Amino acid sequence: MTEPIEPFAYSTNEYGATIEHGVFAPVSLDEGRCCGRKPLVYKTGGLRLFCHRCSREYNPDGTQRQNWAYKLRSDGNFSRDWAVST
């Protein structure tokens, strides 16, 4: 996984789990690979490329797109929130 461009922020959700908030710069596929492997190709609803290791999704041209894990921010970066403990 790439390093965040801002320090991680932490909070606690209503269930007591610690949530880590990260902001990441957009990435592109490097020679058709993400995290060292080729992403999975989904052909339903248009061509989608998905990396199962880091949960990033890519357009057919190799640029990162918004999905359930990475939300596009107004500044062009992506944010991701995930539980790090329960």
* pLDDT tens per residue across span 15-56: 999 999 999 999 999 999 998 889 999 887 778 899 999 999
Q: Provide the sign of the torsion angle of the four alpha carbons 68, 78, 57, 48, taken in this order.
A: positive
Helix or strand holding residue 22 (H, E) = strand 18-24
pTM given for the model:
0.82
